[in-house]
């Protein structure tokens, strides 16, 4: 999709549809909206759309009145959703081009970037493997800012990079397990890295054995698909900080649960168990283009968790790279095992700050539903950094506790630590487990099990992967200040 910025009056913009945000309690009278507002047909409620054809005095073929909810709560994140929803609405009407009007206080760089992101995100469809010729897409999108300043061109470019990287993540996460085993995921990371000028290294079984990654290898041993640890490096030309940010993402390309096998219902969604890893690859794609003055390295452990004849069993004890021994009480708690070795390796490679993201527990979905990702941290300053970045990008996260009391549930007489506790506080005990391998390095764990994908389509997004938390990770890197 071609994204452009236009500073001429909205009435002069020739396009398939001009998107005009309208708000609850506000009497929009321009662009032929007055009769619909007066009749109550258009109330300005969020995700409410009304399409006007051949409006008088407007060069656009149509005007789309797009509800933004209450004006006082309308921020860049809400604009992103409004534009994405409007684009999806217009695509169904076979509209090929559109523009959105941003004026007054909504002509800032933050809003302009969000508008560009919304257009690209709304245009995404998870239909890569469909063979029909009925695929719909917008060819061009214009952000109309009559009051816009010169630097808004940079905002357009930033928004395009972020959204395209988020869509890259969504497309990768949507690939079925037969087409994306661990080594194919590694190949996709290599290809992206080569295109974006990043260094990429893939550690395969022999190297993982040499490094002593028994936790990762234990998960992988039941599958015929070999494991891999993807390492992607970004180094700025001139660093403004001594910090080295490590991004660690769970890459279980399919999770049957292993010997502790999952129920068959819904198991097809376990192709999404690599959404955390996909997000790290997508974040690195954006970081490479936006070039923050901060060293960033991504670590994505990739495995397939299968119940083969060689699969690890409940009760097995493995030795992680850090030297800790782990009793595997449940082979379906595999994500924390591969992350344990990846976190240790990230520390070994000199990372001074860590963020991991994983579709880790069903317990976080019970706690927070599909609205917020769970955020856990061993360091208040690092927690606040990530929360600021998340709020700036409209990716909702909620800080969760890590009280020492919860560690009691992971004690076992047979090893240093067990990989599960009781069913109560399961997301917390999973985070406590990971904290053992982050050690004293400032670290944030994002449990995205409830937010990494949608079971049902929403007005602004189709069913499938969301791409969260790509935008938060990129904002974290680009806004980093010591």
Active-site positions read 262, 336
**Residue 291 to residues 161, 284, 333, 351, Cα–Cα distance (Å):** 11, 10, 36, 18
CB 18 within 8 A of CB 62: yes
Q: What's the CA gap between 76 and 80, in Å, rounded?
A: 6
- Please tell me whether the peptide bond between 84 and the residue prior to it is cis, using omega within 30 degrees of 0: no
Per-residue tokens: 44: 């300005």
Return the DSSP state at 379: -
CB 332 within 8 A of CB 258: yes
Comparing CA positions, the residue from 247, 251, 200, 188 lying closest to residue 223 is 251
**Residue 182 to residues 126, 219, 449, 452, Cα–Cα distance (Å):** 21, 13, 20, 19
Pairing of strands 295-305, 199-203: unpaired
**Residue 397 to residues 8, 170, 325, Cα–Cα distance (Å):** 38, 19, 32
Return the DSSP state at 472: H
Spatial CB neighbours of 20, under 8 Å, sequence gap ≥ 6: 10, 28, 30, 31, 33, 63, 64, 65, 66, 100, 101
Comparing CA positions, the residue from 284, 283, 276 lying closest to residue 255 is 276
Pairing of strands 244-249, 199-203: unpaired
**Please, how many CA atoms are within 13 Å of residue 337, restricted to the half-sphere of its CB?**
32
Per-residue tokens: 284: 């690195």
Comparing CA positions, the residue from 400, 384, 395 lying closest to residue 479 is 384
CB 308 within 8 A of CB 214: no
Per-residue tokens: 302: 């990739």
Cα angle vertex 109, ends 246, 61, to 5°?
120
Q: What's the CA gap between 454 and 197, in Å, rounded?
A: 32
Q: What's the CA gap between 287 and 278, in Å, rounded?
A: 14
């Amino acid at each position: 999709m071609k994204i452009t910025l236009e500073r001429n009056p909205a009435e002069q913009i020739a396009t398939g549809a001009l998107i005009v945000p309208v708000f609850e309690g506000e009497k929009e009278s321009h662009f032929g909206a007055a009769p619909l507002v007066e009749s109550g047909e258009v109330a300005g409620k969020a995700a409410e759309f009304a399409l006007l054809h051949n409006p008088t005095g407007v060069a656009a073929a149509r005007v789309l009145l797009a509800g933004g909810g209450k004006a006082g709560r309308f921020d860049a994140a809400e604009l992103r959703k409004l534009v994405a929803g409007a684009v999806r609405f217009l695509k169904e009407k076979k509209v090929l081009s559109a523009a959105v009007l941003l004026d007054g206080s909504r002509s800032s760089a933050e809003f302009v970037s969000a508008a560009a992101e919304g257009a690209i995100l709304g245009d995404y469809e998870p239909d890569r493997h469909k063979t029909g010729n009925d695929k719909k897409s917008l060819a061009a999108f214009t952000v109309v800012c009559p009051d816009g300043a010169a630097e808004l061109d940079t905002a357009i470019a930033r928004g395009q990079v972020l959204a395209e990287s988020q869509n890259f993540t969504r497309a990768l996460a949507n690939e079925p397990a037969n087409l994306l085993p661990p080594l194919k995921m590694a190949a996709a990371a290599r290809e992206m890295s080569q295109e974006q000028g990043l260094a990429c290294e893939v550690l395969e079984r022999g190297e993982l054995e040499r490094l002593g990654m028994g936790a990762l290898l234990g998960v992988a041993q039941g599958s015929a698909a070999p494991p891999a640890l993807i390492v992607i490096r970004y180094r700025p030309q001139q660093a403004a900080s001594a910090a080295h940010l490590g991004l660690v993402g769970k890459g279980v390309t399919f999770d049957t649960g292993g010997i502790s096998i999952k129920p068959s219902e819904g198991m097809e969604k376990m192709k999404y168990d690599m959404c955390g890893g996909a997000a790290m690859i997508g974040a690195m794609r954006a970081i490479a283009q936006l070039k923050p003055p901060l060293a960033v390295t991504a670590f994505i452990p990739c495995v397939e968790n299968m119940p083969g004849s060689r699969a690890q069993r409940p009760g097995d004890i493995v030795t992680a790279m850090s030297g800790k021994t782990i009793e595997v009480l449940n082979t379906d708690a595999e994500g924390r095992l591969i992350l344990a070795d990846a976190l240790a390796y990230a520390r070994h490679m000199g990372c001074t700050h860590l963020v991991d993201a994983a579709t880790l527990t069903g317990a976080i979905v019970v706690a927070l539903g599909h609205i917020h990702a769970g955020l856990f941290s061993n360091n208040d300053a690092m927690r606040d950094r990530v929360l600021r970045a998340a709020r700036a990008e409209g990716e909702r996260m909620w800080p969760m506790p890590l009280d020492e009391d919860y560690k009691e549930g992971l004690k076992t007489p047979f090893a240093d630590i067990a990989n599960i506790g009781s069913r109560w506080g399961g997301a917390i005990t999973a985070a406590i487990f990971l904290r053992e391998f982050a050690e004293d390095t400032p670290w944030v764990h994002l449990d995205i099990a409830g937010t990494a994908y949608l079971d049902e389509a929403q007005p602004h997004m189709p069913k499938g992967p969301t791409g969260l938390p790509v935008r938060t990770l990129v904002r974290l890197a680009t806004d980093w200040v010591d």
